[in-house]
Every structure is written in structure tokens, then in C-alpha cells.
Structure 1
Amino acid sequence: MKTLLRPTTPTGHIVRHYLEMVVAMVVGMIALGPLWSLAGEALGWTAAFHAPEPASLIMATNMSVAMCAWMRFRGHGWPATLEMAAAMYLPFVVLFPPMWAGLISAGTVMVGGHVLMLPAMAVAMLLRRGEYIGHCATRS
């Protein structure tokens, strides 16, 4: 019996790619996070790196670097890769104004940004369904 989530089905391709991106994001956070800590200490910027805005954008960068590297390795084009990276940053940036207005906390920005990036990734994928459904993506 053929299931929708098999890697050979269009839905299976999309689900596999989505899960690969989540894994790459976690790898990026684990691998690159300590480098930022070392850089912050070496430059005397540790406090600045822990402010909500830089902390969230650094986290988005860590996730984006690993995710973009994996996407390019898998043959995805630059437009799709950069859209997926934008999905890492946009949720945080959207939450900054409510934080500045005192409506939400810095913790809410960090948690909310991570939660909102998951649907943002899905939207980025839906915009280029063809790229994520095919066996081999084309390079742009």
C-alpha cells in the first residue's frame, strides 16, 4: 500500500525536505552557537550579543548558515535557499516592534520567533513547490 509520506511521493519529498531543514537548523545552533560565545568574549561584546535583538538574529544566522549549506549541497537554487533563510529572520523581526512597545517580553520574541519560523518555512516551500517536489532541484 502506497502512503503519501513515502519519499518517492510529492508530499514525501516536501516532508523529507522540511525535516532535513529542521535538522540542519539544530545542527547550526549547536555548532555555531559556541563560536559566537567565543567571539563575544574575545571582543568584549558578550553583553551586546545577549541583548534580545542580536541574540535572536545570531540564532537565525546560525540556523540559516547550516540550512543554506545543506540546501545548496542538495542542489537547491539560490532563490529558494535565500527565501528559506528569510523564513529564519522574518519571525524575529516581526516580533521586535511589539517587544519595543512593551507588549511582549524578550523571551516571547525568542520562543515566538522559533515557533513562527516553522510555518514561515512551510510558506517558503509552498511558493516553490516544484523545487521541493522533484527528485533533483535545479541550480539557479
Structure 2
Amino acid sequence: MTTSPADGVRTARPSRREALTSRRFVLHYLQMLAAMLVGMALLMPVSMLVGAGAGVELQTLLMATSMSVGMAALMVWHRSPVSSIVEMCLAMYLSFAVLLPAHWLGVLSGEAVIGLGHVVMLPMMAAVMLRRREQYLDDH
């Protein structure tokens, strides 16, 4: 149960299924993906300069940073709590970080880490959003 700050009425917390099938929730998810792409596009020249010839660790760090900047900007615009922004940014970095040990062991190439990191990021973002689903079902 949650309490609405406006009227103090207790309401049932939306289920994960309700969130995932909500147009508003899906729209927030798609907006975040678009913001990440914008962040990557705007910061790509800097990333290419800094990361030229660097290992996959630095490349993924720069990529996650670029995406996080775009996404965090959108979340600030939506007036999301700082804790939500931090969690979502951590999801960006962790999506790559969980794959690096496989790279270090020679199981994954650098290109595979980058590609799979983007794939892992999608459910990681959804998981963070589902954790705070009331926020993403709100009208901001």
C-alpha cells in the first residue's frame, strides 16, 4: 500500500504487470532510451578522442557515461529523485561491468562485451523502473 501525498488516501501499489502494460510506463522507458541515444550522439566525438585505442574497459566506461548523461538529463527534467537517477546510472555501468570478467578470462571479445552490454542494459533499466514503478506511472 502507498499513500498519496495529495490526499492521504492509501492505494494499492501497482503490480509489475500493470506497470509493464501501462502506456505511461512504456513511454518513460522509450524516452529514456531516446535520451541515452542523444547522450551518446552528443558525447561521441569526445568519447572517440579520449577512447581512441583504449581497452574495452575505458570504452565501456565512456559509453555508459555518455548514455547516463543523456538519461540523467531527462530524469532531472522529469524531476525524478536523485536516488532514482543514481540507480538508473548504476544500471548503465553495471550492464557492462558484469561482462568484463568474461572478457578478462578470454571468453568474450571486447566487441561482444560492448554489444551484450547494450542488450543487458535493457532489462536492467526495466528492473530499476519496476522497483520504483509508482514514479514512472506518475504524470511528470
Fold match by TM threshold 0.5: yes
Alignment of 1:63-102 (within 5 A): 63-102=67-106
TM-score normalised by length of structure 1: 0.81
Tell me, which stretches of 5 or more residues in structure 2 are unaligned?
A: 1-20
Q: Which runs of 5+ in 1 are unaligned?
A: 1-9
Residue 44 of structure 2 is matched in structure 1 by 33
Equivalent in the alignment of 1:4 = none
> Is 2:39–2:69's contact at 8 Å kept on the other side of the alignment?
yes
Deviation (angstroms), 1:46: 3.0
In structure 1, the residue corresponding to 2:23 is in which secondary structure?
Answer: helix
AA of the residue aligned to 1:117: M
Q: Which amino acid aligns with 1:31?
A: L
Structure 2 letter corresponding to 1:59:
M
Superposition deviation, residue 36 in structure 1: 2.6
The equivalent residue for 1:123 is 127
Structure 2 counterpart SS, 1:47: coil
CA offsets per residue over residues 73-130 of structure 1, 9 Å max, x none?
A: 1111111111111111111000000110111111110000000000000000000011
What TM-score, normalized by structure 2, do the two folds share?
Answer: 0.81
Percent identity over the alignment? 43
Identify the residue that residue 19 of structure 1 maps to in structure 2: 30
Q: How well do the aligned residues superpose, as a CA RMSD in angstroms?
A: 1.3
Which has the larger share of helix? 1
Which residue does 2:53 correspond to in 1?
47
CA distance in 1, matches of 2:83, 2:98: 22
